[in-house]
């Protein structure tokens, strides 16, 4: 019986990394559900998926690139460029579907350009895609320096439509557990990717090309495979995915800006690596990438629910986990290389006995040891995460936004004032701080529809009709404001990003949430609320 199990396992050894990741995800989620009641809500589980399209679509494309032995650092630039370009085109009145199509084509063209440099001019992928990232980001600022909001109807529908889950919701009252259209798109892309990877000649060539420090690519060429064509296609495919991910982002946050998705490429690579794909290429499964993304999401969720840690712990834990996977991968690879080298030892004439018995199969590394090495690494990280989470440090005090170097002096948050506003009976206190001009705008919305705002030098007023106020508040409630779904994602923002600070007091409930512009980790619903509020408040004339 043990023998049978061990044979099954050794026959499927290549699925080991994938299995570890999947287990990691379920274990992490189970522990979280045990520790925090909020995580037992099915909607929270579904939200893992709702918040993933951006990362998963991009990670799927990146999986192909890494499998082929390359790397693509341009994804964050392409994403940002997509958001800015779409926002700008929509602002100029272009047809939204045309914009979507155009963006996808643009992504593919950028991918093709970089692919050409890599394939035909022999420029290292690292450099070529880095240059691509810079170029794309730079182009954003030729279009616009500021955030461009999107209020196109189609895009808004794409963002806000709830797709109710049968069995967990009530279609009559439109309440219950749901996912969004973007999740459907994400699933389609994911399924298509799996199919391409496993069942198309292109996908198999991608697998053949990667790994072994380029030796496999050499072999693939000698085997007559269309290596150059495949390389180009891989980068074109990733360009497509980056553009699609960018569209997802700008739909979710209803805006576009060149500073969005900073450092995104690292998160994507981390998700791919955690999903079991070897960074050197050749081995890994697209299916694993889904779990890499989910694991990242779970880690973030755990940190959110803990509440005691600032959300910048997420990238640290993700980084550590990636590190653990990379180290284990490298150790296994080094060991395999040593085994391979020792196999090349010439034994023919020295009279050493042949490996009788095992019909030519080499002795695989003892299964127990492999599991130990791999599982041990993952276990260390899980344990570490929870130690950290439960003994977390105090949250950072309110920080003003980063001063762009030699630009403007950042203003402090007016937290006390916001609290006073709420205490004095306001329904909503909304503060927007930072940005390229270092502004600090604080608005108060009162139950009678009055809006009062001031930015330190100027004050504005507006009166909402009761219907408008009701609409605003009902949207806020519908967006799950007062549930566990909305949470702080505060981290030190990028140079020209805004920081949002919103307090809502309504129906006997009160909740304050902070988030940073350009962060890809805040829940989608939060941005819907921000966009809704931005739609009603009066604008200042001077900064």
Partner 1 sequence: MKTLKSTQTGRKIVESKLFFPFVALALILLLDFIFIPGFFKIETRAGNLYGSLIDILRNGSYVMLLAIGMTLVIATGGVDLSVGAVMAIAASVAAIMINPTIIGVKLPPDVMKLVFDPNFTYSPLWEVILVTLVVSMVCGLWNGILVAYGNIQPMVATLILMIAGRGIAQLITHSLRIQIFYAPYAFIGKGWVILPFSLYIVAFVYAIAWLLTRKTSIGLFIESVGINFRASFYSGIDEKKVKLLAYIFCGLCAGIAGLVASSNIQTSDANQIGLNYELDAILAVVIGGTALGLGGRFSLLASIIGALVMQATTTSMYAIGVPASAVIAVKALVVIFVILLYSKQVQSFVRKIIGQKGA
Partner 2 sequence: MVESNDQIILMKGIHKNFPGVQALEDVDFALRKGEIHALVGENGAGKSTLIKILTGVERQDKGTITFEDKELLIKSPQHAQSLGISTVYQEINLCPQLTVAENILIGREPMKWGNVDWKKMNSRARQILEGLDLKIDVAQPLGSYSVAIQQMAAIARALEISSAKVLILDEPTSSLDTHETEQLFSVIRKLKNEGMAIVFITHFINQVYEVADRITVLRNGKLVGTYDTAGLPRLELISKMIGRSLTEYEDMSKVKSDVSKHIRGDALLQTKALGRLGAIEPFDLVLHAGEVVGLAGLLGSGRTEIANLLFGIDKPDTGSMVYEGHAVKQFSPLASINRGIGLCPEDRKAFGIVDDLTIRENIILAIQARRGWFKHLNLKEQYELAERFIKLLNIITPSPDQPVKNLSGGNQQKVILARWLATNPQVLILDEPTRGIDVGAKAEIQKLVLSLAEEGKACMFVSSELEEVLRTSHRIVVMRDREKVSEFGGDVDGRKIMQTIAGSES
**Binding region for partner 1 (CB under 8 A):** 117, 121-124, 126-128, 130-142, 145, 258-259, 266, 270, 279-280, 310, 312-313, 315-316, 319-320, 322-323, 326-327, 330, 334, 393, 396-397, 399, 402-403, 405-406, 491-496
Q: Is 69 helix (H, G, I), strand (E, B) or coil?
A: coil
**How far is Cα 97 from Cα 247, in angstroms, rounded to an integer?**
11
Q: How far is the CB of 402 from partner 2 (least distance, A)?
A: 43
Which of partner 2, partner 1, none binds 498 (CB below 5-8 Å, type-dependent)?
none
Q: Which does 282 bind (CB under 5 to 8 A by kind): partner 2, partner 1, none?
A: partner 2
Could you write out the three-class secondary structure of 435-485?
CCCCEEEEEEECCCCEEEEECCCCEEEEECCHHHHHHHHHHHHHCCCCCCC
Give me the least distance between CB of 360 and partner 2, in Å please.
5
Backbone angles phi, psi at 500, to 5 degrees: -110, 140
In the bound complex, what is the minimum distance in angstroms from residue 229's beta carbon to partner 2? 12
Could you tell me which of 369, 384, 276 has the C-alpha nearest to residue 21? 276
Rank residues 191 and 419 by Cβ distance to partner 2 and give the closer one. 191
Is the Cβ of residue 53 or residue 70 nearer to partner 1 in the bound state?
A: 70
What's the Rg (C-alpha) of the chain? Answer: 26
Angle at 321 (CA atoms; ends 316, 327), nearest 5 degrees: 125
Quick one: 327 or 339, whose CB is closer to partner 2? 339
To the nearest whole angstrom, how small is the minimum distance from the Cβ of residue 489 to partner 2? 39
326 binds, among partner 2, partner 1, none (CB under 5 to 8 A by kind): partner 1
**Which residues contact partner 2 (rule: CB under 8 A)?**
11, 13-14, 195, 198-201, 204-205, 207-208, 210-212, 216, 218-220, 222-225, 282-283, 336, 340, 342-356, 359-362, 364
Count CB atoms within 10 A of the CB of residue 448.
Answer: 11
Give 196-200 contacts, CB < 8 A, sequence gap 24+.
Answer: 196/64, 197/63, 197/64, 197/67, 197/285, 197/286
Minimum distance of partner 2 from residue 206's CB (angstroms): 11
In the complex, least distance from residue 414 CB atom to partner 1, rounded to whole angstroms: 18
Q: Which C-beta is closer to partner 1: that of 258 or that of 275? A: 258
d(CA 427, CA 416): 16
Per partner kind, with CB cut-offs from 5 to 8 A, the member of partner 1, partner 2, none near residue 95 is none
Nearest to 483 by CA among 509, 503, 516, 508: 509
23 binds, among partner 1, partner 2, none (CB under 5 to 8 A by kind): none
> What are the strands of the beta sheet with 439-445, ordered from one edge?
459-463, 450-454, 439-445, 428-434, 498-506, 509-516
Judged by beta carbon distances under 5 to 8 A according to partner kind, the member of partner 1, partner 2, none in contact with residue 280 is partner 1
355 binds, among partner 2, partner 1, none (CB under 5 to 8 A by kind): partner 2
- Could you give the CA distance from residue 24 to residue 302 in angstroms, rounded to a whole number? 13
342 binds, among partner 2, partner 1, none (CB under 5 to 8 A by kind): partner 2
Nearer to partner 1, 192 or 387 (CB): 387
Out of partner 2, partner 1, none, what residue 482 binds, judged by CB under 5 to 8 A for its kind, is none
Minimum CB distance to partner 1, residue 95 (Å)? 27
Q: Measured from the CB of residue 336, what is the shortest distance to partner 2 in angstroms? A: 7
Rounded distance, CA 255 to CA 258, Å? 10
Least CB distance from residue 18 to partner 2, whole Å?
14
Rounded-to-integer distance, Cα 103 and Cα 86, Å? 7
The three-state secondary structure class of 247 is helix
- Could you tell which of partner 1, partner 2, none binds residue 14, using a CB distance below 5 to 8 A set by kind? partner 2
- When the beta carbons of 368 and 396 are compared against partner 1, the nearer one is 396
Tokens, residue 462? 């507006």
Q: Which does 534 bind (CB under 5 to 8 A by kind): partner 1, partner 2, none?
A: none
CB nearer to partner 2: pick between 336 and 407: 336
Shortest Cβ 97–partner 1 spacing (Å): 28
Q: Taking the complex as a whole, how short is the minimal distance between the CB of residue 67 and partner 2, in angstroms?
A: 10
In angstroms, the CA 418 to CA 210 distance is 55
Do 59 and 236 form a contact (C-beta atoms < 8 A)? no
**Pick 195 or 312: Cβ nearer partner 1:** 312
Task: State the chain's maximal CA–CA distance in angstroms.
Answer: 97
Distance CA 289, CA 270 (A): 10
Smaller CB distance to partner 1: residue 180 or 410?
410
């Amino acid at each position: 019986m043990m023998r049978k199990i061990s044979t099954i396992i050794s026959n499927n050894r290549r699925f080991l990394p994938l299995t570890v990741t999947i287990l990691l995800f379920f274990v992490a989620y189970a522990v979280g559900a045990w520790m925090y009641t909020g995580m037992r809500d099915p909607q929270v589980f579904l939200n893992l998926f709702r918040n993933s399209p951006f990362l998963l679509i991009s990670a799927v494309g990146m999986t192909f690139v890494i499998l082929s032995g390359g790397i693509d650092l341009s994804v964050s630039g392409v994403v940002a460029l997509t958001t800015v370009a779409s926002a700008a085109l929509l602002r100029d009145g272009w047809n939204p579907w045309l914009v979507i199509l155009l963006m996808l084509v643009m992504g593919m063209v950028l991918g093709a350009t970089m692919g050409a440099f890599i394939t035909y001019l022999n420029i290292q992928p690292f450099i070529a895609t880095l240059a691509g990232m810079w170029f794309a980001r730079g182009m954003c600022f030729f279009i616009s320096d500021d955030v461009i909001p999107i209020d196109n109807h189609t895009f808004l529908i794409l963002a806000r439509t709830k797709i109710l889950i049968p069995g967990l919701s009530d279609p009559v009252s439109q309440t219950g557990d749901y996912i969004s259209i973007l999740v459907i798109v994400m699933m389609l892309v994911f399924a298509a990717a799996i199919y391409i990877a496993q069942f198309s000649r292109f996908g198999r060539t991608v697998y053949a090309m990667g790994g072994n420090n380029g030796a496999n690519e050499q072999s693939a060429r000698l085997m007559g495979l269309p290596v150059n064509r495949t390389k180009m296609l891989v980068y074109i495919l990733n360009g497509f995915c980056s553009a699609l991910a960018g569209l997802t982002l700008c739909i979710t946050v209803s805006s576009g800006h060149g500073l969005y998705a900073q450092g995104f490429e690292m998160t994507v690579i981390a998700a791919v690596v955690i999903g079991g794909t070897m960074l050197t290429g050749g081995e890994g499964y697209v299916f694993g990438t889904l779990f890499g993304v989910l694991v990242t999401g779970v880690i973030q969720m755990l940190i959110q629910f803990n509440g005691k840690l600032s959300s910048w712990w997420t990238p640290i834990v993700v980084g550590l986990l990636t590190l653990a996977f990379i180290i284990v991968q490298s150790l296994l690879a080094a060991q395999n290389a040593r085994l391979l080298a020792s196999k090349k030892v010439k034994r023919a004439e020295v009279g050493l006995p042949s490996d009788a018995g095992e019909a030519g199969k080499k002795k695989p590394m003892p299964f127990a040891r492999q599991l130990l090495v791999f599982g041990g690494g993952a276990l260390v990280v899980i344990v570490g995460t929870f130690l950290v989470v439960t003994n977390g440090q105090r949250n950072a005090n309110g920080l003003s936004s980063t001063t762009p170097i030699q630009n403007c002096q950042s203003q402090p948050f007016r937290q006390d004032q916001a609290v006073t506003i709420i205490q004095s009976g306001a329904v909503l206190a909304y503060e927007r701080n930072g940005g390229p001009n270092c502004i600090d705008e604080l608005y108060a919305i009162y139950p009678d529809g009055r809006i009062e705002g001031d930015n330190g030098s100027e004050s504005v007023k507006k009166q909402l009709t009761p219907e408008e106020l009701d609409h605003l508040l009902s949207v806020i409630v519908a967006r799950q404001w007062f549930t566990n779904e909305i949470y702080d994602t505060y981290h030190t923002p990028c140079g020209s990003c805004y920081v949002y600070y919103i307090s809502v007091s309504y129906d006997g409930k009160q909740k304050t949430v902070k988030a940073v512009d350009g962060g890809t980790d805040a829940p989608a619903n939060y941005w819907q609320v921000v966009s809704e509020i931005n739609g009603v408040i009066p604008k200042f004339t001077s900064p």
